Amino acid sequence: MRVSHFAFAAAALLVAGQASAAAIDLSKPYGNKSGCINKNGQEIYAEDMLLLTDEAFVTVASACTFTEKKAQADGSLLVKAQCQAEGEEGESPAQFTIKRSAKNAKKLVIADEDGNVMGEVSRCK
């Protein structure tokens, strides 16, 4: 019996290690081409701009500041944020899911709370 408990514990640790190894690291910014150009501030205007940092998600029309980030069992990241839309006063709450792209594990996909994909981003150089 002891051996099986040990094997179970080892397997649980292995699975936990794999899950944390796949965790999404936002310590460096991600973006599409125009998002990465703008990573240090607005340098160009582009309709398609997407920039994802450890603290925010920015598009050409909105800026969302993260209030909570929670790693999910599937390796994705559930993010709660307060968003400001261009031309509107005040902030509104939003929720996003950030996960690895099924096509390219180096890219991240950002989806809104209804599952609509807002964009795919790569780590900025």
Q: From first to last of the 125 residues of the chain, give the pLDDT tens digit.
A: 434 333 333 333 333 333 444 689 999 999 999 999 988 877 777 888 999 999 999 998 899 999 999 999 999 999 999 999 988 899 999 999 999 999 998 999 999 999 999 999 999 99
Q: How far apart are CA 38 and CA 15, in angstroms?
A: 38
Q: How far apart are CA 105 and CA 99, in angstroms?
A: 9
User: Closest Cα partner for 76 from 37, 33, 113?
Assistant: 113
Cβ-based neighbours of 32, under 8 Å, separated by 6 or more: 48, 49, 50, 119, 120, 121, 122
Q: pLDDT per residue over 27-60, tens digit each?
A: 999 999 999 998 887 777 788 899 999 999 999 8
